[in-house]
Amino acid sequence: MPISGDVYKELGRAAAGAVSVVAAYRNPGSSILALTVSSFATLSFDPPLVMFAIQHNADSYTAMVESKGFGVSLLSIEQSDVAQLFASKGHAKNQNTMFEAGQVVAVPLIPKALAHIECSTSQVVVSGDHAIIIGLVEAARTSQRRPLLYFARQYGSFDPIQSP
Ligand SMILES: Cc1cc2nc3c(=O)[nH]c(=O)nc-3n(C[C@H](O)[C@H](O)[C@H](O)COP(=O)(O)O)c2cc1C
């Protein structure tokens, strides 16, 4: 028998994760859809694949599942306000001026992020109340910025443990 929803929510709070914004164009050159996720993960080295999970009741669900490509912006510690904005509902967050264009794939990216990943959609796996969207990485760039993390419903930073 599966665990209760309350226990599952506790698990979610205990799982610290990096925070990203995933974004796509509804059609090339048209309006943008974007949301904050902590489910982004690298998946495969060869071929280079990444993934994230999107909940069925997200407003962007259908368009994101049907999109041919998506951009992932791994947020930096200075971007908790960006994370909050893209975790909200409504069209205010999806203005073109908030994004820059991908260099190889037509995907929207958040400026000044820790890393940018440009993907073509490779596979969509519907599982439970989420879809796992898998992308082939066509281009990627990282910076020396520090990551934004999410734990116990709070944003924070990464502190390495000092070696004795
Ligand atoms: C830190 C954080 C992580 C999140 N991770 C995910 C996620 O991995 N998948 C998801 O579908 N929603 C996630 N959400 C919730 C979405 O960002 C939120 O539901 C958003 O409003 C969806 O946008 P939309 O309805 O415009 O598609 C997360 C929210 C926060 C604050």
* Nearest atom (ligand 1) to Cα of 39: 8
Domain boundaries, the chain: 18-151
Whether 54 is in the pocket of ligand 1, judged by its Cβ within 6 Å, is yes
Atom 28, ligand 1: residue with shortest CA distance? 37
Domain 18-151, architecture per CATH: Roll (2.30)
Give the pLDDT of residue 130: 97
DSSP per residue, the chain: -PPPHHHHHHHHHH--EE-EEEEEESSTTS-EEEEEES--EEEETTTTEEEEEEETTSTTHHHHHH-SEEEEEEPBGGGHHHHHHHTS-SSGGG-GGG-EE-SSSS-EE-TT-SEEEEEEEEEEEEETTEEEEEEEEEEEEE-SPPBPEEETTEEE---PPPP-
Whether 150 is in the pocket of ligand 1, judged by its Cβ within 6 Å, is yes
What is the mean predicted confidence (pLDDT) over 48-65? 97
**pLDDT tens-digit map of 81-99:** 999 999 999 888 888 889 9
Model pTM score = 0.96
